Amino acid sequence: MGPLQNRPQAGALRSRLVAGYLAFICALVLLGAGAVTSSAYADDVTGDAPALHSGTETSETVVPDDSPASDEPAPTATPPAEDPASGSDQDSTPDSEESVTVESPLVTSDVAVSGLTRVEEDHVTLTYGGAWTSGTSAAASAGAYRYSYSAGATLTMYFKGTSVALIGPVGPTYGRIEIWLDGVKVATVSQYAAAYQHQQVVWSVAGLANADHTLVIRVTGTKEAASSGTIFVFDAFDIDGTVASKPSWLPDGRASHEEADSRTFREGRWTAVRTSAASGGSLLYTGTVGSTFTIHFSGSRVAWIGPRFTNYGWAAVYLDGIYQTTVSQYGASARHRQVIWSAEGLSNGNHTLMIKVLGKKDAASRGTVIAVDGFTVDELLVPRFEEKDSRIKRSGTWTSGTSTVVSGGGYVYSRQANAYVVVPFWGTAFAWIGMRGPSYGMAEVYLDGRSMGIVDLYSPASSSGEMVWAVSGLKDRYHVVVIRVLGRKSPMSAGANVVLDAFAFEGAGAKPAHWASRTVRIDDREFRLWRSGTWQAGASSAASSGTYLYSHRAGSTITVSFIGTSVAWIGPTGPAYGHARVFLDGVRVGTVSQYAPSFSHQQAVWSASGLADTVHTLTIHVLGTKDAASSGTIVVVDGFDVAGVQKQRFEERDRATLRSGTWQAGASSAASSGTYLYSHRAGSTITVSFIGTSVAWIGPTGPAYGHARVFLDGVRVGTVSQYAPSFSHQQAVWSASGLADTVHTLTIHVLGTKDAASSGTIVVVDGFDVAGERVTARSLIVSVAKQQLGKQYVWAASGPDTFDCSGLVLYACRAAGVSVPRTSRWQWSVTNPRFTTFEPLLPGDLCFLSSPSYIHHVGIYIGFGLSIHAPGTGKFVEYRTAHTWGCYGRVAASAWQGRYNGG
C-alpha cells in the first residue's frame, strides 16, 4: 500500500485530478462565473440545508418538508443516531427539528466501472449511517450533495481498486472527519478553509493493492478553533477501479450462522416464521420496543442478514457494547437475504454484536418490525449447556417438555417449592436462558453459595429463548450457580412454574457488554484495602489472582471500603488457621474461625447481604487465638466480593437543581418526600448537576401530562411523554446509565405539547436518582483528580496532560473554583486547620510530606483512606494510602471562591 496523505498524490492520479480541476475553474472564469463565494452552512438545531454558492448563484435554502411552499415530495426519513447513554430513545411526538435523510437502497450485484470514475453522493452502493440531509447546488458535482453534523454519522463505500479521492467543498463553517480504510483509522481531516471552494480533493490515497477495500467516513462533530461549525459535506468519490454494493467476502443472501443458532441470545418477544425465501428457511421478527438480539463471535468481520419490507422499522446496532449506528429495514418492496449492516477490519478476536429494536420507522413505512435472518461471522462463541446436560444436577420434581422455539428443542419446568438445579461452570460470565409468561413464578439464584436475588418470570405475554438472569465480570475460574424454585408467584400470575431451557457461559476473554455485572472481586493487593500491624504476602496458584495476605500477629487489621449491598471475605480454610473478629461499619458483627480439617481455597469465610446501597467498611481483626484442633493462629485474606451500586435520590428542590421559567410546587403523599414541581409553560427547564455513572428522572405518569425534551450534558437525547391512561407515581420517566464517572448535567425542557389522548401538557418532576454524588467543590476536586490517574509526572507542569505534585493540586482546585498557590510549601501555608492524622480529613483536603518545617510533596485526599498524587520523575499519577503522609491540612475557607463555595 502506498503512503496516505491529505492532498492529491504525485503520479497519474494527481495529474488527472489537477488537470481536471484547472479545466473546470478555467471554464467557470470563461463563462463569467466570477470569484467563488459562499455563505456558511447552517449549524443549528433546525437542520436546514446549508446554502452552496458559486459565482452568480443566489442563496439556496431547503424548505422544510411540512411547508406548503415546498413543491418537492417529502423525502423518506431515515433514523437519527441513537445516544446509547439515553436508555430508551423513543420520542413520543414528531419533532420538526430532526434532520431529514434519504437511505440508499442496497443492490445484489456489483456495479462495474473502469478507470477514474466519479461516484456521486446518491450512488446505489453507498451506505449512510446516522442522520444525513440532501441538498442541491449548481456548484456541487452533478448538482447535489449530502451533509451531516451528527457526531458518529458514517458513510461507507466498498470498492476494488488502487486509488480513491474524497471530493467535497472546503470553507469556514466546516468540521472534522475521520477516515477509516480497511478497518484502520488512517487520518483525521478538516474541511475548514478561510474561504469557500467547491469540488476539492478533501483527502486521497493512491498506490493501493488492486484488491477489495472498505472506506468509511465518520463525522466527529468537532472542528478547528477558527471554524464556525462542525458540518461535513460529501459531494462524491473518485476511484480508480470498481465500486461494489457489499464486501466481497459476503455470500449472496446466505448467512453462515442462522438466527435460530443455540448460541445466540434474545431478549423480548420474538416470533419464528418459516419461509423458503429466507436463509435457512426461517427467520425471527419482533415489533416489541427494547427487544434485543445478540451474538458473540470471534473474527474480524460480521454482517447482519435480513429482509427489507414495507412495514419494517429501525434498530440500533452495538458492537462490543459501543453504539455504532441506527439502521432502517424498510424497503419499498419485499427483498430477502439483504445485508442490513456489516463491519470488517475488526481486531481479530472476540466480539459482541447486539441489535436493539427502537419502535421507530421511516415516514413511508407501515410498521416498526425488525427481522433477523442470520449472520455472517468467522466463528460463533459462547458454549451452551442444554437443560439435560449431564453436568447439570437437578433435585426435586421436574417435568420435561418439547418445543420448536426453544434451545435444543427441549426444556424442563417445576413449581415444587425448594426444587433446584445446580450448574457448575468455569468462566467469567453466565446466563440462564428460559421463558417468561402469564403463568410463571419465582426462583432464587445463588452464585458460589451466595444469594444473588429473586427472579420473577411473570410476564403478560409469553416469550421463549430469553436471558432471564445473567452475571458477568467474574474471575476466570470455577463457579457454581444454583437456581431454587420458590413455589411462589406474583399476584398477576396464574401459576408458579419455573422453566429451564439452557445455560450459557463464557471463559476468559469476550465479555457481553450488555450483561449487568452483579459482583466484583477486590483482590488482596488492591488500593481499596489498607492494613495495620504485620501482614505478609504469599503466592499460590490456588489463590484468587495467585496471591494472598496473612498474619498471626494479634491486633493486625485489614480494612476494605466499598459501595454496595453485600460483601464476602474470601479466603482459605484449613488445619493451621486461627480466629479473627469482623467489624462492619465499625460495629462488631462476629468472630470467625478459619479452621477446617482439610484445606479449601477461595471460600466465603464470612459474608453479609441486604445492606443499604451506600458506602461501607469491613475490617478483619486478627485475634492470635485458634480452635483447639488447629495447629496455628494464622488469618488469611485472599480478597473480598462486593455487589451493588450506590444510588441516592435528589429531591426536586435539592440544591443540586436549578430552574428557569415557571414552576409551581405541589404536595402529595404519593410523591417522593411528599412534594413535587410541575409546569406547563413551554420553555421552562429544570437542571440537575451530579458526578456519577447513571441518572433517572423520577416523576408520575398519567392522563393529563405532556411532553418534555431531555438534554444530557447539553446534548439532546430524547423527547419524553409523561402520558399514561392511569396514574402511576415515582416512575423512572427517563434514565441513562454507563456514563463516565465525572460531572454531568441533566436538563428537562417543557415543550407545552402532549399526546392526542392526554388532557393536559403538564410536566412533573419529583426528583432524580443518581448513582454518584452532588456536584460540590470537594466532589469536583476529587473527580478531576481521578481523571488524571495514569498521566505522567513532569516537573513544574500543571496540566492538562502532565503534572508535578503541586501542579495536580492546582489543576483540580482551580476546576472547582478553589484558589491555592502554585507550590506545595505555599499550599501548606493556606491550610487551616492542620492535622497530624488523616482520620478527620474530608475529600478534597490536602496531604503533605513530611513535616510542617519541611514540606516538599503534596497530594489530594479522596476518601476511604486514599489519596491521589503525582509521585515523581518517571512515574505517573497514582493512588496512595492516606496514612503514609506526614501531615494534613484543610484549605482555608477564604480560598473557596467558586460557584460551589464552601464545598
| Residues acting as catalytic residues | 805, 857, 869
3-state secondary structure of 762: strand
User: Are 155 and 128 spatial neighbours (Cβ–Cβ below 8 Å)?
Assistant: yes
Rounded Cα distance, 346 and 301, in Å: 6
Q: Are 236 and 150 in contact (CB under 8 A)?
A: no
Cα separation, 846 vs 859, whole angstroms: 6
| CA separation for the pair 161, 235 (Å, rounded) | 20
Terminal CA-to-CA distance of the chain, rounded, Å? Answer: 57
Side chain identity at 272, as an amino acid letter? A
Answer for the pair 703, 759: CB distance below 8 angstroms, yes or no.
yes
- 329 contacts 280 by C-beta, under 8 angstroms: no
745: Cα separation from own chain's centroid: 17
Buried b or exposed e, range 572-605, using 16+ CB within 10 angstroms: bbbebbbbbbbbbeeeeeeebbbbbeeeebbbeb
CA angle (415, 419, 424) in 5-degree steps: 125
Distance in angstroms (rounded) separating the CA atoms of residues 635 and 554: 10
Scanning the structure block, which residue is given the C-alpha cell 449472496? 252
What are the cell numbers at 854? 519541611
Q: What are phi and psi of 86, to 5 degrees?
A: -90, -5
3-state percent breakdown (helix, strand, coil) of the chain, nearest 5: 10, 50, 45
Q: Which three three-digit cell numbers place residue 451?
A: 444469594
Tell me the C-alpha distance between 439 and 492, whole Å. 9
DSSP symbols for 260-302: T-TT-EEES--EEEE-TTSGGGEEEEE--TT-EEEEEEEEEEE
Residue type, 554: A
Task: Please give the angle made by the CA atoms of 301, 186 and 792, to the nearest 5 degrees.
Answer: 105
From residue 713, alpha-carbon distances to 115, 688, 710 in Å are 48, 10, 10
The residue whose grid cell reads 477558527 is 226
DSSP string, 321-383: TEEEEEEE-B-SS-EEEEEEEEEEEEEEEEEEEEEEE-S---TT-S--BEEE-EEEEEEE---
C-alpha cell at 730: 415515582
3-state secondary structure of 185: strand
**Rounded-to-10 torsion of CA 103, 109, 114, 117:** 0
Phi, psi of 12 (to 5 degrees): -60, -45
Closest by CA position to 365, among listed 77, 696, 794 = 77
| Residues 411, 457: Cα–Cα separation, whole Å | 15
CA separation for the pair 379, 393 (Å, rounded): 30
Whether 34 and 56 have beta carbons less than 8 Å apart is answered as yes
On whether the CB atoms of residues 735 and 87 are closer than 8 A, the answer is yes
